[in-house]
């Protein structure tokens, strides 16, 4: 089993480029610390590249990588290609655990198609220790393949810690990053890694893996283009990469079509062989990786030919981005990083298959080298501690003799500390008095959260997905900004209320509180920009400013003053004016019933806005709302609802809709300057009353009058709320000229 490391570099040298991934678990999750994808000067398998030139190209690329990064402190995991590699899963007869290695070696000699001394091999138990079935995986690769791969690293003085076959690295990637795809042995997922020269086909189940190397890769498409158009390899490669935007795209894809067919046939043949050997396992998905997947149309062709869903990941699900790593740049190379991701997981101790094909002599040398460092460090520490002990004893003896004045100074300092502690105790006794003064200063801010809570209570009572399940999907679409789904519901059927303003002020005498203190309406109409908001204070804003200046809501009441008049008990609370508009209904009566439907007290599913506000205790979890609707049905003057049509030419409240110019016909005539209308800010539907137009854009008339189209309606809702936990009214001095105001 691999020892878990804090960080690891994984390196895969392919025919096209060197891929490297630097992963770490130091922050508790697997995350990318660094990555690189360095292209070779030429494609190594190109027809014009000699063996000597290929070695030189690899050396140059690796040297460039080593010079760019410090690899001395981290584990290194490298991959070897699947050619000449071997992986087989066998079931052993029931034997004692200590005899399993002996049985595995016997099976390895029988199964591996090369001499046992000519390969590097390893094995791994694939079943649980207490399982009655003993299944082991045997992995091997020829010595010359491993030595050739490691030779490049040895030249650059880079010591590899792990050597793994590319297909096993892909298997480790899938089991860690996409565990939902390999949950059993009866359903398999195929990883298809299309490289420059070969394609690795890896069939993955929960406890086994089957691999095949297909000798068709991205270069096969390049060679097909080169042969068809009589180009050299480099020019054909460039033409392949730019095929989708080339004016000769059809001819290029026609030239590559035989390779499409050959690759699909080889994949189909391989999967057919697997299915015949594993009839109880069904292949459910193909995950495509590698640079070859970037070829336009290839994955779609494979999916249509194989009749199996093909997915090309655009990100790794369980891999985080470390600080300083660009997610956008990393995701551009996700398809190339499947092998190095699996390699790095093995180095971190998180891989399912942990076989290591590193030559045993190198592994032993590394083990002794690592232990040697600890032996030397331990000896150095022991020597250092001994010298420090002797030195410390001599040093303390000398210091004791010469530090007499220092000890006297310390004694005086301790005396000063005692005096400071006495002073501190005295100050602590005064803390209670200071806390009382502080609490008194903060009294004006005691109830500053109550007005936002009142607003939240009103907004919660509006029609929404919780109280109108029939239109829950509509409310969700509106919240997500899905205009198409919103407009799919006819506007007049949308049980929706838009609030443009809520005005509220506190009074100690709700019965005497008056509505209408705020300037709610536009100051000018019929002209663009006529909102009339300006910088001036309206009557309500001025009163609220004065209230704040005179000491907060506990000191101000527009109508009547606490501490005067009769001694009858008065209710304290808020006088509220809610202004808004709604697309619902065909007339003012429909909107009135949406806001305050009559006769529905015992039918909660038919409650309107006002009905819910009248039953606030039923809407909160603890059944104790801080507010109570004040005498709506008992005293007519304590409640009011006004509903009218939204019209451009008539007085309407501020904040309704957005001004736009709309033309009478889809293609405006030269003399058609359009007209200003109010539109829904989200859907851009007209919400004000407009004349009905005929096909030529002229208003239709009936009995000499224009036929109107009535859209939205606006409303002003006046109501009062008792504040159940309101503070007591302040006492007023009898000689005050203005009761209720702070002097």
Q: Tell me the per-residue pLDDT of 295-316, one tens digit each, with 9 for 90 and over.
A: 989 999 999 999 999 999 999 9
Residue 545 pLDDT grade (very low, low, confident, very high; cuts 50, 70, 90): very low
> Per-residue pLDDT averaged across 122-151, rounded?
86
Spatial CB neighbours of 147, under 8 Å, sequence gap ≥ 6: 359
What tokens appear for 215 in the block?
């000798």
Same domain? 42 vs 55:
yes
Same domain? 372 vs 353:
no
Alpha carbon 88 to chain centroid, angstroms: 40
Beta bridge partners of 213: 200
Residue 547 pLDDT grade (very low, low, confident, very high; cuts 50, 70, 90): very low
Integer distance in angstroms from the first to the last C-alpha of the chain?
82
The rounded distance, in Å, linking the Cα atoms of 14 and 632 is 80
Single out the residue of 72, 56, 52 nearest to residue 64, CA to CA.
56
The rounded distance, in Å, linking the Cα atoms of 505 and 557 is 8
Same domain? 586 vs 704:
yes
Same domain? 304 vs 364:
no
Same domain? 197 vs 328:
yes
Q: What is the CATH number of the domain that holds 166?
A: 3.30.420.40
Of the residues 358, 377, 393, the one at which a domain ends: 358
For residue 406, count other CB atoms closer than 10 A to its CB.
10
Q: What share of the chain is helix, strand, coil (3-state, %, to 5)?
A: 40, 20, 40
Same domain? 403 vs 321:
no
Q: How many domains does the chain have?
A: 3
- To which residue do tokens 């736009």 refer? 660
What tokens appear for 385 in the block?
């501690």
The rounded distance, in Å, linking the Cα atoms of 370 and 333 is 35
Residue 665 pLDDT grade (very low, low, confident, very high; cuts 50, 70, 90): low
Instruction: Give the pLDDT confidence score for residue 82 in this predicted structure.
Output: 84
Mean pLDDT, the chain, whole residue set: 85
- Asked which of 75-89, 165-179, 492-506 is least confident by mean pLDDT, the reply is 75-89
With respect to residue 16, please indicate whether it lies within any of the assigned structural domains: yes
Same domain? 350 vs 366:
no
Q: Are 583 and 687 in contact (CB under 8 A)?
A: yes
Spatial CB neighbours of 354, under 8 Å, sequence gap ≥ 6: 1, 2, 124, 346
Same domain? 393 vs 492:
no
Q: Are 170 and 342 in contact (CB under 8 A)?
A: yes
Same domain? 643 vs 706:
yes
- Asked which of 283-292, 357-366, 455-464 is least confident by mean pLDDT, the reply is 357-366
Q: Does the pLDDT at position 614 exceed 60?
A: yes
Higher pLDDT, 277 or 698: 277
DSSP string, 374-394: HHHHHHHHHHHHHHHHHHHHH
- Asked which of 97-101, 361-365, 406-410, 655-659 is least confident by mean pLDDT, the reply is 361-365
With respect to residue 549, please indicate whether it lies within any of the assigned structural domains: no
With respect to residue 35, please indicate whether it lies within any of the assigned structural domains: yes
Higher pLDDT, 241 or 132: 241
Same domain? 184 vs 252:
yes
Q: Does the pLDDT at position 160 exceed 80?
A: yes
- To which residue do tokens 């290839």 refer? 298
Same domain? 386 vs 347:
no
Residue 530 pLDDT grade (very low, low, confident, very high; cuts 50, 70, 90): very low
DSSP string, 8-49: EEEEEE-SSEEEEEEEE-TTSS-EEEEEEEEEPSS-TT-TT-
With respect to residue 345, please indicate whether it lies within any of the assigned structural domains: yes
Higher pLDDT, 544 or 389: 389
Same domain? 576 vs 660:
yes
The rounded distance, in Å, linking the Cα atoms of 496 and 594 is 9
For residue 205, what are the domain limits? 7-358
> Per-residue pLDDT averaged across 481-501, rounded?
94
Beta bridge partners of 644: 714
With respect to residue 442, please indicate whether it lies within any of the assigned structural domains: no
Instruction: Give the pLDDT confidence score for residue 536 in this predicted structure.
Output: 41
With respect to residue 166, please indicate whether it lies within any of the assigned structural domains: yes
Stated length of the chain: 743
pLDDT digits 0-9 by tens, 28-63? 899 999 999 999 988 888 777 888 999 999 999 999
Q: Does the pLDDT at position 475 exceed 60?
A: yes
Instruction: Give the pLDDT confidence score for residue 673 in this predicted structure.
Output: 72
Q: Are 678 and 656 in contact (CB under 8 A)?
A: yes
- To which residue do tokens 């602590």 refer? 428
The rounded distance, in Å, linking the Cα atoms of 589 and 594 is 9
Q: Is 12 exposed, middle or buried (0-12, 13-18, 19+ CB in 10 A)?
A: buried
Q: Residues of 197-229 as b/e, b for ≥16 C-beta within 10 angstroms?
A: bbbbbbbbbebbbbbbbbebbbbbbbbbbbeee
Instruction: Give the pLDDT confidence score for residue 393 in this predicted structure.
Output: 79
């Amino acid at each position: 089993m691999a020892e878990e490391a804090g960080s690891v570099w994984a390196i895969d040298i392919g025919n096209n480029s060197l891929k490297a991934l630097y992963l770490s678990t130091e922050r508790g999750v697997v995350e990318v610390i660094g990555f690189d994808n360095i292209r070779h000067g030429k494609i190594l398998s190109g027809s014009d590249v000699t063996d000597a030139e290929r070695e030189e190209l690899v050396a140059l690329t690796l040297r460039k990588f080593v010079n760019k990064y410090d690899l001395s402190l981290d584990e290194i995991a490298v991959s070897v290609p699947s050619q000449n590699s071997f992986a087989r899963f066998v079931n052993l007869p029931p034997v004692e655990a200590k005899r399993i290695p002996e049985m595995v070696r016997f099976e390895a000699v029988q199964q591996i198609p090369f001499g046992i001394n000519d390969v590097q091999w390893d094995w791994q138990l694939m079943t649980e220790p207490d399982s009655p079935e003993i299944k082991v995986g045997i992995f091997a690769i020829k010595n010359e393949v491993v030595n050739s791969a490691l030779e490049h690293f040895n030249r650059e003085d880079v010591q590899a810690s792990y050597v793994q076959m590319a297909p096993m690295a892909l298997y480790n990637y899938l089991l860690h990053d996409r565990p939902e795809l390999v949950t059993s042995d009866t359903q398999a997922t195929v990883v298809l890694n299309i490289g420059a020269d070969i394609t690795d086909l890896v069939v993955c189940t929960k406890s086994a893996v089957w691999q095949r190397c297909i000798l068709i890769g991205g270069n096969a498409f390049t060679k097909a283009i080169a042969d068809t158009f009589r180009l050299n390899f480099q020019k054909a490669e460039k033409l392949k990469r730019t095929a989708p935007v080339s004016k000769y795209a059809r001819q290029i894809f026609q030239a590559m079509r035989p390779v499409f067919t050959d690759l699909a046939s080889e994949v189909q043949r391989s999967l057919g062989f697997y299915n015949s050997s594993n009839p109880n396992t069904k292949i459910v998905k193909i995950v495509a990786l590698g640079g070859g997947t970037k070829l336009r149309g290839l994955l779609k062709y494979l999916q249509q030919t194989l009749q199996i869903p093909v997915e090309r990941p655009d990100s790794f699900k369980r891999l985080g981005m470390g600080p300083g790593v660009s997610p956008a740049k990393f995701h551009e190379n996700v398809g190339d990083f499947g092998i190095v991701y699996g390699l790095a997981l093995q180095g971190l101790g998180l891989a399912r298959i942990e076989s290591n094909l590193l030559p045993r002599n190198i592994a032993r040398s590394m083990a002794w080298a690592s232990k040697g460092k600890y032996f030397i460090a331990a000896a150095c520490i022991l020597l250092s501690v001994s010298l420090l002990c002797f030195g410390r004893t001599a040093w303390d003896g000398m210091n004791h003799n010469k530090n007499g004045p220092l000890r006297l100074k310390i004694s005086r300092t301790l005396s000063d500390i005692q005096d400071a502690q006495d002073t501190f105790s005295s100050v602590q006794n005064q803390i209670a008095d200071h806390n009382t003064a502080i609490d008194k200063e903060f009294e004006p801010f005691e109830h500053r959260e109550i007005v936002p809570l009142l607003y939240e209570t009103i907004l919660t009572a509006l029609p929404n997905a919780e109280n109108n399940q029939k239109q829950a999907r509509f409310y969700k679409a509106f919240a997500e900004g899905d205009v198409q789904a919103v407009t799919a519901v006819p506007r007049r059927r949308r049980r929706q209320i838009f609030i443009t303003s809520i005005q509220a002020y506190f009074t100690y005498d709700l019965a005497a509180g008056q509505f209408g203190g705020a300037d709610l309406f536009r100051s000018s109409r019929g002209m663009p920009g006529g909102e009339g908001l300006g910088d001036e204070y309206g009557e309500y804003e001025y009163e609220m400013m004065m209230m704040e200046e005179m000491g907060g809501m506990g000191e101000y009441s527009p109508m009547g003053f606490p501490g005067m008049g009769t001694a009858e008990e008065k209710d304290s609370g808020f006088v509220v004016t809610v202004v808004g508009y709604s697309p619902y209904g065909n007339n003012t009566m429909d909107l009135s019933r949406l806001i305050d439907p009559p006769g529905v007290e015992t039918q909660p599913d038919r409650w309107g806005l006002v009905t819910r506000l009248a039953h606030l205790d039923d809407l909160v979890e603890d059944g104790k709302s801080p507010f109570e609707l004040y005498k709506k049905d008992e005293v007519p003057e304590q409640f009011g609802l006004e509903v009218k049509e939204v019209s451009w030419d008539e007085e309407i409240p501020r904040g309704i809709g957005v001004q736009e110019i709309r033309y009478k016909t889809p293609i405006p005539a030269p003399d058609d300057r359009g007209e200003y209308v109010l539109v829904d800010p989200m859907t851009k539907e007209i919400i004000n009353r407009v004349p009905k137009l005929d096909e030529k854009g002229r208003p239709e008339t009936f009995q000499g009058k224009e036929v109107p189209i009535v859209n939205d309606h606006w409303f002003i809702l006046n109501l009062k709320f008792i504040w159940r936990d309101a503070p007591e009214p302040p006492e007023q001095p009898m000689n005050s000229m203005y009761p209720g105001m702070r002097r």
